Chains A and B, each alone.
Chain A
Amino acid sequence: MKRIIYISTLFVIVLTSCTTVKLAVPEQFSSQSTSMHVKGLNGWMVNQKLSFGNYYTSAVKRGWNVSSTGTDRPSGVTTEDRLLKMFNVEKSNVTLNQKNKYQFTVQDGNQSAEVFCIEKVTKEQLVVKTNTWWGDTHQTKNYQYSFSAAILPLKVKEDAPWQLVLYNNYDRNKDTAHHFFDLPYLEEEGYITNGTETIHIKPLRIQQFVRKDGREAKFPVRMMSGYELRIDDGVVGIIDSFDNNIWMYNELDSDTKLLLAAVSSALMLRKIQDTIH
């Protein structure tokens, strides 16, 4: 787990210092879709507003970003726990909780939708006190990240609200990563549903990317780069978190496009970073 953070940090430093990374969207999809660059993600965050294509959001109303850390009931005893205890190394089991809420309205000029979001992470860590200049070391035992949103299209015609759920769940005991470049095993799922129709959200992890000069390059490991939105196994949208772009399939009706715009904005406005990415 920790090595993935090292790898990710290393690549972020390398990528930001050398070149601009772009997601290599297959031409089969890009030729039939529109790319929109999202403005407003960086910079002044008070009354933050997003805009992309002909979509724009209201000022994002954020709640308190609540976070707490403390000792809590440990979920189990690991081999590391036993070894540290045996050699009388000072350690503690710490549980970190973080919760963030926000809401906004997204509109395309004709229609609008209200979006209510919550994200939460609970992480249990084994903290080893080294009492040296290295500081304390942390090892994640497990974590549960979830993001949930309720999207209410504001229309004269009755229409059910949509519920968005995206979660990932890591348990060190179930981890299958053994080598340095292995990605940890994550239980993850994402979907948007109104009870009758479902759009699946698939995390996009890529190894190939396009450099600023147009040449293709490859990461040594697959990197989290955004999300793919699918209806019936067909891709209808791509959220590119490398370059803050949203790709939308051209043939969609305006209601679905507004829904995808709401989903994309909600996902891009998240504050709690999932540690695995």
Chain B
Amino acid sequence: MKQIYLLTCLIAFYTALAAQTPANAYLSLQPYEIKGHNNPLKLNITFGNYKTRYIKRSLGSIFNFGRVSFENILLDMAGVPDYVQGTNQRNKDIFSFDLTENGEAISNTRCRAILHQNERVRLLLPSDSSFFSINNVDFLQAVIMLHNDSSQVWQMAASNLNGSMNEPQKGLLRHDTTSIVFEKTTMLLREKAVDRTDVSSLLATMNMVYSFTLNNKVIAAVSYKDTEKRFWLHEKTDPKLAQVIASAAMVLTLRRQLYQ
């Protein structure tokens, strides 16, 4: 009896809730826990019905070599202190993976991220407010190919994902005229999947995420931080778009922090 009563109440509540919530609350997105990303013994990552497989990373992504700067060698020989010398380093991260849904392969993703670090303290030149001259190149690009429709090749591009510049950390997913924008932000999101018989599924928490926006409407999000990682997806998202977003979310989960 109590369950029927609770069910009736919750249905009435969920239908009326959307109009009452603040701008950064996205309680219609359903959460899925991401498992395996922090476990060195697990090679694949799972969330909801999705699972990655065949994650491959280039050796150059693991062993980064800084670029030799002759200017810094000369400054070293002249006894100029380290802090006047600029940081000039190149890092990259190249990886690929397949994504499966309920055991069936749905997409293949190849990704390349680069960070050319070019930073110098401005002691003698007119300095900006941060004292640094920062000319970094921080770029990520990926190609997502859906298996069930060979015409669906999505391009993914993002800038400043390492947060090395004073700019938003954002990117774009594009195919033909469809564009999905993603950006690092904080959002109020549901803690548990909606269970219409469990009142505690109303609980929500604030999370730092990459939000995915299609036509000015947030349709998905993935946690920025590695601890308690979650993926949120709107229930009514088109299945093909959901597969693309799940692949993009995996790129953002698997990418390495290149700023050192």
Contacts and interface: CB of A to CB of B under 8 A. Distances in A.
B121 to A, nearest CB: 6
Nearest to A163: B202
A160 interface: yes
A159 B225 CA distance: 38
A165 B188 contact: yes
Q: Pick from B17, B82, B203, B227 the residue with the most CB of A within 10 Å.
A: B203
Closest 6 pairs (CB-CB, A-B): A195-B16, A76-B163, A146-B206, A144-B206, A150-B202, A193-B20
A253 interface: no
Contacts of A104: none
Interface in A14-37: none
5 contacts: A79-B131, A88-B82, A152-B9, A191-B20, A193-B17
A122 interface: yes
A103 B200 CA distance: 10
Contacts of A195: 12-17, 19-20
A122 B208 contact: yes
A87 B83 contact: yes
B247 interface: no
Interface size bracket, B side:
35 or more
Contacts of A77: 162-164, 259
B130 A86 contact: no
A150 B200 contact: yes
Interface in B205-260: 205-208, 224-228, 257, 259
B186 interface: yes
A79 B130 contact: yes
Interface of A: 68, 70, 72-77, 79, 82-83, 86-88, 95, 97, 103, 114, 116-118, 120, 122, 142, 144-146, 148-150, 152, 158-161, 163, 165, 167, 169, 171, 173, 187, 189, 191, 193-196, 198
Q: Pick from A74, A76, A88, A116 the residue with the most CB of B within 10 Å.
A: A76
Q: Pick from A74, A95, A145, A148 the residue with the most CB of B within 10 Å.
A: A148
B70 interface: no
A196 B202 CA distance: 16
B227 A158 contact: no
A169 B207 CA distance: 10
Interface of B: 5-6, 8-10, 12-17, 19-22, 25, 82-83, 119, 121, 130-132, 162-164, 166, 169, 184, 186, 188, 191, 199-200, 202-208, 224-228, 257, 259
Given A72-B227, A73-B225, A160 B16 contact: yes
A233 B149 CA distance: 54
A41 to B, nearest CB: 23
Q: Pick from B12, B82, B130 the residue with the most CB of A within 10 Å.
A: B12
A118 B191 contact: yes
A145 B226 CA distance: 18
Q: Pick from A117, A149, A160 the residue with the most CB of B within 10 Å.
A: A160
Given A148-B191, A158-B5, 8 more contacts: A73-B225, A77-B163, A95-B225, A95-B227, A116-B200, A118-B203, A150-B202, A159-B9
B228 A158 contact: no
Contacts of B225: 72-73, 95, 122
Contacts of B16: 160, 194-196
Given A72-B227, A160-B16, A79 B132 contact: yes
A68 B226 CA distance: 12
B227 A68 contact: yes
